[in-house]
Amino acid sequence: MTKKADTTFIQIIHPVCCGIDVHKKKISACLITLGEHGQELHEIREFGTFTVNLLEMKKWLTENNCPILAMESTGVYWRPVHNVLEGFMEVILVNARHIKNVPGRKTDIADSKWLAGLLRHGLLKGSFIPPKEIRQWRELTRLRRTYTESLADYKRRVHKLFETANIKIDSVVSDLFGVTGRNLISLLCTESDLSLNNIKSNAKRGLKAKSVELHSSIQGFFEDHHRFLLVGLMETIAGFEDRISGITKRMDSLTADNRDLLARLDEVPGIDKKSAQSIVSEIGITLDEFKSMAALASWAGLCPGNNESAGKRKSGRTSVRSHPLKTILIEIAWAAIKKKGSYYRAKYFKLKSRRGAKKAIVAIAHRISKAIYNIIKHGDRFMDLGEEYLGVKSRQRRLNAITKQAKQLGYDLIPAEV
């Protein structure tokens, strides 16, 4: 019996493919095709990054019947290329850390050849690129978040300005930018009369009874210099509030066809309409790219990483250091644990005693991501298990342990009559 020869080799998945190295002003492309006798042929070209140059590259690729292309996810420079090629061929966006070339001989052309070679043998893992509609939602919600953070920053500047001018309005009102607080800020901006009667007329509801305190809190060393700064800060704050309101209205109109999905997400503790819009703008409305709940949690960086060598488990820190969806879910988790009687609240405090607050809140965010996956993927509705759920499981576990110990000692436990 003759021994069968070892014919193991790396399988060719994409006989015709292209790898490109993208930069701000230049693109290096390596196209792999098949020759007359089935041999591997390489053609390397360089293009500019203007739209006319990218259209020339697309014509070159389509003439050679190239069905797939790979490029690094370097900043935002991949987006113009994707805009031109989307819908004409499959575009794989690759994390630069996953395709590190062998040290030495580092050139743009060498990088494109390396990308093309890896793609040809199916050794590249593409990043998640949502559809165009979802990408537009994502840009809007991320911009709204940026505006919201900037708005909070400028409000803190107003607090700081008042402290430097001996104005103590925020020591009397709970919200400096509530109706009463804004009325008093308006008085300071317009050099209006700061008499007790005027203060009382601008106070609303329960704060009318604190008119004397408000009058005392607004007396300080507020000069024209402070007024000039305050007017500028309030104009900036008004601008951010208008932009946030405009983005919210546009998101409401764009997501009008998905109201049912947003309403079901809103049932999860900690999630409101805005956070639901942020969630679907990050992961889409189908989750076809995520095969399981674990895949979604891993992509968002909400589960431990795998780092094992020689049978020893090393640091389990996730490789995803910062992720927009992770940030959103962490904020949702902090809000969810404040709901009394909820499962998330009970689970958080149980984990916090053993693992600490930070790890516990990430665990809650992980559980919320599972709920979101089932709501979007399978159309389920959220059902809170309640804080008693963990108590019942713990009680039954203890009861089973005691029953087992009693049997080992030759006794049988009999439930007491209530």
Bridge-based pairing of strands 308-309 and 26-34 is unpaired
For 282, the enclosing helix (H) or strand (E) is: helix 273-283
pLDDT at 310: 78
pLDDT at 70: 93
pLDDT at 1: 45
pLDDT tens digits for range 206-218: 898 998 999 999 9
Comparing 100-109, 345-354, 402-411, the range with the smallest average pLDDT is: 100-109
Q: How confident is the model at residue 394 (pLDDT cuts 50, 70, 90)?
A: confident
Residue 288 has pLDDT above 80, yes or no: yes
- Hey, which CATH number is domain 134-256, 3.30.70, 3.30.1120, 1.10.287, 1.10.3470? 1.10.287
- Hey, which CATH number is domain 17-120, 3.40.1260.10, 3.40.50.300, 3.30.420.10, 2.40.50.100? 3.30.420.10
Bridge-based pairing of strands 312-313 and 308-309 is antiparallel
194 SS3 class: coil
Q: How confident is the model at residue 105 (pLDDT cuts 50, 70, 90)?
A: low
List the beta bridge partners of residue 297: none
Model pTM? Answer: 0.85
Comparing 217-226, 235-244, 276-285, the range with the smallest average pLDDT is: 217-226
Q: How confident is the model at residue 371 (pLDDT cuts 50, 70, 90)?
A: very high
Q: How confident is the model at residue 108 (pLDDT cuts 50, 70, 90)?
A: confident
What is the domain partition of the chain in residue ranges?
A: 17-120, 134-256, 258-302+322-378
For the segment 51-78, the average pLDDT, to the nearest whole number, is: 91
Comparing 255-259, 360-364, 385-389, 391-395, the range with the smallest average pLDDT is: 391-395
- Asked whether the beta carbons of 275 and 251 are under 8 A apart, the reply is no
Closest C-alpha to 325, from 295, 351, 292, 291: 295
